[in-house]
Amino acid sequence: MKAAAEADRAGFDLASISERIESEVQRAIARSIKGVEYFSTSGPSLGSTPKDILSVRGTMNLYHYRPIADEIYRVPILIVMATTNRGYILDMVPGQSFIEFLLKRGYDVYMLDWTAPKPEEKNLRMEDYVLDFIPDCVRRVQADSGENDVTVIGYCFGGVLSLLYGSISAGGPMKNLICFTTPVDFREMKLFQNFADRRYFDVDHLVDSIGNIPPEMILSSFEMLRPASRAASQVQLWENIWNDEFVKSYRMFDRWATDTLPLAGEYFRTITKDLMWDNKLYNDAMSVGGRKADISSIKVPFLHAVAEHDHIVPYGAARPLIEKIGSADKEEVILKGGHVSLVAGANAVRRLWPKLDSWLCERST
């Protein structure tokens, strides 16, 4: 009694402590069982929303997702994925798929996704992406949908490519432009800047000697931004391995995050020199294939969604975009979350997706 009273005074509740111990013991047992399951089973099937392949050309893949609404908006959407990552981040599993969300809301959705460039594609240049792949996909979307207007959505570096395309093809078929976490001021990506410091980083030597930039190198540079996070997430996984929903979510995101793509060597050289070193996009000095790419020439309705806690594209790097863009109808929305949780997972389901729908539906007729 005396001990209980003392424990109570100290803020402990003996009954709840024993309940807690019991629950922890049960979880420890569940962890052992689920831990075995974890290593003996594969993760959930990702990117399974039904789609048709419209075109495959080297690293470029164009998909059309089969509409599921009885009636769809007039203007189709073309999503341009980042060249470092796979598009299934936007199509995880039913209920957590951005694509499925758009289809249910009545949009006609196409995706420009990338596969690993082959060694013989090491000479792909920025021009190939901006002046060939994207316009080719836009034309195919126009032909397939029968509509002249297309809404373009670019995620991360897919946003940069969309901006370059939009600025060079101003007055073209792009009706709306939406960017997710898209950097324009590369000075503000401070750690990447330091990794690529021109005094020590010999990009010419690297590209000339290895060709395409291997995915391990790209993944390491992402992980180095938060070096403790991988270990901490594994501790978290072990703590929560009894929780099927947590494990499912962990596996989805972990698989995607480690499924990094190599980058074509020449393309990487341009990114490093023009964007990381000379910050040409921000300085209005960017050109692609001899054609000036000035963001202020983009006049179509524009939405930029950025994440409050984005460690890959810090807000400082994305912030100037809204000022630089030439559109009269433009909006920036800052949402809670990080670089990935902005677009996928429970956070995105609550925040970004409804916001995007409310913005886009009025501009899709």
Partner 1 sequence: MADKSNDPVALWQKMIGEMEKGFNAFAARAMESPQFSQALNQVGGATAAGQKQLGELMEKYLLTMNMPSRAQMIGMAERLQAIEGQLNEIKAILHQMQGNAAGSGGVYAPAPRPPRTKRPPPPAGGEQKSGGEQK
Site residues for partner 1 per CB under 8 A: 10-13, 16-17, 20, 24, 50, 52-53, 56, 67, 69-74, 106, 108, 115-116, 119, 145, 147, 190-191, 194-195, 197, 199-202, 205-206, 209-210, 214, 217, 224-229, 231-232, 235-236, 239, 322, 331-336, 350-352, 354-355, 357-358, 361-362, 364-365
Phi and psi at residue 335, to the nearest 5°: -120, 155
- Strand locations in 181-309 (E): 287-288, 291-292, 302-307
How near is the Cβ of 67 to partner 1 at its closest, in Å? 5
Q: Within a 10 A sphere around the Cβ of 44, how many other Cβ atoms?
A: 16
Q: Which C-beta is closer to partner 1: that of 191 or that of 257? A: 191
| Measured distance between the N- and C-terminal CA atoms of the chain, rounded to whole angstroms | 73
Residue 141 contacts by C-beta under 8 Å, 6 or more apart in sequence?
Answer: 62, 64, 76, 78, 110, 150
Q: Which C-beta is closer to partner 1: that of 33 or that of 69? A: 69
Q: Which C-beta is closer to partner 1: that of 46 or that of 322? A: 322
How near is the Cβ of 206 to partner 1 at its closest, in Å? 6
Query: Any bridge partners for residue 170, and if so which?
Result: none
Q: Which C-beta is closer to partner 1: that of 170 or that of 257? A: 257
How near is the Cβ of 127 to partner 1 at its closest, in Å? 25
Q: Which C-beta is closer to partner 1: that of 13 or that of 329? A: 13
Residue 134 contacts by C-beta under 8 Å, 6 or more apart in sequence?
Answer: 80, 112, 161, 162, 165
| CA gap 308, 324 in Å, rounded | 20
Task: Supply the DSSP symbol for 263.
Answer: B
Q: Which C-beta is closer to partner 1: that of 67 or that of 172? A: 67
Cα–Cα nearest to 223, from 268, 260, 272: 260
Task: Categorise residue 338: left if φ over 0, alpha if ψ from -120 to 50, beta otherwise.
Answer: beta
Q: Are 189 and 313 in contact (CB under 8 A)?
A: yes
Q: Which C-beta is closer to partner 1: that of 131 or that of 218? A: 218
How near is the Cβ of 314 to partner 1 at its closest, in Å? 11
How near is the Cβ of 48 to partner 1 at its closest, in Å? 11
Q: Are 58 and 121 in contact (CB under 8 A)?
A: yes
Tokens linked to 288: 């692609």
How near is the Cβ of 286 to partner 1 at its closest, in Å? 25
How near is the Cβ of 289 to partner 1 at its closest, in Å? 28
Q: Which C-beta is closer to partner 1: that of 130 or that of 339? A: 339
How near is the Cβ of 131 to partner 1 at its closest, in Å? 26
Tokens linked to 23: 């629950």
| CA gap 23, 318 in Å, rounded | 45
